């Protein structure tokens, strides 16, 4: 005798099972071949491999409602502490939540092993499963792989997801000797509409992911170049200066510490071919204290060449897409050494150093493009973070960007100005010191909101099940 649920119409069956957790769905898929054929697409269509609430926790306060509206398909943990059991502390001060992040890093790399050459068991099945995925958001090359010397095939595995509509990657640094180079792909991601790339991602993969410029409507780029470690603990490798017809001089990396360097990836032809872009979000590291300040923590070299290249890329992107853009977000993060001076947190660091030389280069290269006498027919909002805090706007080195933009666009286009955050770097490796999303560290979350708890959605005595924003019911 068949079970009552097996007699339901397919549409009703799927409406019932969407309330189940991932684990329950996986168990149910093993009951019969009929269940398996129905449930497998449900499991694979939307894949989010960050811990519950991570993106909402890390978003700047003005962007949190927008982030929550995405209703990300998080996989909720079985047990989440309430505020009374420690959730009122910042996320990274809570060992349970830290373990969730570590577990998600491990899970993400195991997930990619299914599609990686050398670890996949059934190539044809892997290709079929990859073709089911429409939404993919995950950290790659994370903490759990840092001391793992096996070869990983991150970028070629990701290229298998040819039917993606949404792709978001937070890439940690992994030495090239442990990472297969990206070989390119014969099939482009022709359905991709939203692309968010952050961290240490090779330029070749960025170009591959951006190739279908006619369909991409949302683009976020925060690409970081190969880190260069300190010359104190051991001999370090210095990357060769790239060939640049406009600059024949080699870059001087003969310094004790090298700050994270932004990486410009897009060719002029690629930039000019975006035809549907509505949302553009760009982020880069920039200088902290100026060279003339005699501080022990100021011995960090910043690549002017890298900064100028990425700012020129920003200017070209903005100029090429302004006729279609509805939202523009620009984010610069002053770099701080991991042992920032006592009393300096992200908020005070940005207040002190947001108007440095990187700010001046932005004013010289990008701001004039924003102020040009050109049409922005669809623009609804400009959001800037880390350029001019309230404490810094009255200084001599500030040009009052907010006022200039308000005068240029009038009252019809709101200009949202946020303090922003710093970017911490590790001294020995030169990498970004991050432990949530690749751009964010344990000491900056919440600073821009006056120390508000990181798990910001919870009320007193409430548990994760009473999260106030909507999400996919089957993951509740």
32 and 114: one domain?
A: no
Residues 11, 83, single domain; the answer is: no
Q: What's the rounded mean pLDDT across residues 63-76?
A: 84
Facing residues of 418 across strands? 385
pLDDT given for residue 194 in this prediction: 98
Phi, psi at residue 197, to the nearest 5°? -125, 125
Chain segment 183-219, per-residue pLDDT in tens: 988 899 999 999 999 999 999 999 999 999 999 999 9
Judgement on whether residues 137 and 124 belong to the same structural domain of the protein: yes
Same-domain status, 284 and 302: yes
Encode pLDDT of 342-382 as tens digits: 668 888 889 988 988 999 999 999 999 999 999 999 999 99
List pLDDT tens digits, range 227-263: 987 655 455 455 555 445 455 455 767 677 889 999 9
- Do 36 and 179 fall into the same domain? no
Residue 422 has, within 13 A of its CA and on its CB side, a CA count of 29
Q: Tell me the per-residue pLDDT of 273-306, one tens digit each, with 9 for 90 and over.
A: 999 999 999 999 998 776 555 555 557 888 999 9
Q: Show the tokens assigned to 353.
A: 């150093």
- Are residues 19 and 165 both part of a single domain? no
| Counted domains in the chain | 2
The verdict on 136 and 201 lying in the same domain is yes
Same-domain status, 340 and 444 = yes
Q: Which residue has the tokens 């100026």?
A: 290
Q: Are 196 and 98 members of one domain?
A: yes
pLDDT above 70: residue 99 = no
Q: How confident is the model at residue 16 (pLDDT cuts 50, 70, 90)?
A: confident
Do 98 and 17 lie in one domain? The reply is: no
Calpha distance 215→188 (Å, rounded): 12
- Say whether both 156 and 61 belong to one domain: yes
Most confident of 14-23, 27-36, 307-316, 445-454: 307-316
CA–CA gap between residue 204 and residue 221 (Å, rounded)? 14
Residues 407, 330 share a domain: yes
Q: For residue 83, how many other CB atoms are within 10 A of its CB? A: 16
Is the pTM higher than 0.85?
yes
Q: What mean pLDDT comes out for the span 331-340? A: 85
Q: Identify the CATH number of the domain in which residue 1 sits.
A: 1.20.1280.50
Check residue 191 and give its pLDDT.
96
Residue 172's domain spans which residues? 44-475
């Amino acid at each position: 005798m068949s079970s009552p649920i097996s007699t339901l119409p397919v549409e009703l069956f799927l409406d019932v099972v969407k309330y189940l957790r991932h684990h329950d769905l996986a168990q149910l898929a093993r009951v019969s071949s009929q269940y398996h054929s129905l449930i497998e697409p449900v499991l694979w269509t939307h894949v989010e491999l960050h811990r519950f609430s991570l993106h909402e926790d890390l978003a700047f306060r003005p962007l949190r409602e927008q982030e929550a509206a995405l209703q990300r398909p998080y996989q909720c943990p079985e047990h989440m502490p309430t505020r009374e059991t420690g959730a009122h502390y910042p996320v990274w001060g809570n060992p349970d939540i830290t373990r969730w992040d570590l577990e998600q890093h491990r899970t993400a790399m195991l997930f990619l092993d299914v599609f990686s050459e050398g670890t996949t068991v059934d190539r044809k099945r892997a290709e079929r499963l990859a073709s089911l995925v429409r939404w993919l958001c995950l950290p790659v090359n994370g903490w759990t792989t840092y001391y793992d010397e096996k070869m990983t095939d991150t970028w070629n595995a990701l290229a298998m997801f040819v039917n993606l509509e949404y792709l978001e990657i937070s890439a940690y640094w992994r030495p090239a000797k442990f990472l297969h180079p990206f070989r390119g792909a014969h099939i482009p991601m022709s359905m991709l509409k939203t692309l968010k790339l952050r961290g240490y991602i090779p330029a070749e993969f960025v170009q591959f992911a951006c190739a279908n410029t006619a369909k991409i409507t949302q683009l976020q780029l925060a690409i970081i170049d190969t880190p260069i470690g300190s010359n104190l603990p051991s001999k370090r490798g210095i990357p060769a200066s790239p060939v640049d017809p406009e600059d024949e001089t080699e870059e001087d990396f003969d310094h004790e510490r090298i700050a994270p360097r932004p990486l410009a990836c897009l060719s002029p032809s690629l930039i000019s071919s975006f035809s549907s872009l509505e949302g553009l979000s760009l982020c880069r590291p920039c200088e902290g204290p100026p060279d003339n300040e005699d501080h022990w923590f100021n011995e960090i070299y910043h690549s002017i060449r890298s900064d100028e290249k990425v700012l020129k890329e920003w200017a070209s992107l903005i100029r090429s897409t302004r006729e279609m853009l509805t939202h523009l977000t620009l984010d610069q993060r002053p770099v701080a050494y991991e042992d920032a001076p006592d009393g300096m947190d992200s908020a005070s660091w940005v207040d002190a150093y947001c108007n440095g030389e990187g700010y001046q280069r932005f004013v010289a290269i990008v701001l004039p493009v924003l102020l040009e006498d050109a049409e922005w027919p669809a623009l609804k909002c400009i959001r800037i973070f880390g350029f001019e805090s309230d404490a810094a706007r009255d200084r001599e080195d500030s040009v009052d960007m907010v006022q200039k933009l308000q005068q240029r666009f009038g009252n019809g286009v709101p200009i949202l100005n946020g303090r922003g955050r710093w970017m911490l770097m590790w001294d020995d490796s030169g990498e970004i010191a991050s432990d949530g999303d690749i751009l964010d560290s344990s000491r900056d979350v919440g600073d821009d909101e006056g120390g508000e708890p990181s798990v910001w959605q919870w009320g007193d005595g409430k548990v994760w099940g009473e999260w106030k924003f909507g999400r996919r019911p089957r993951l509740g």
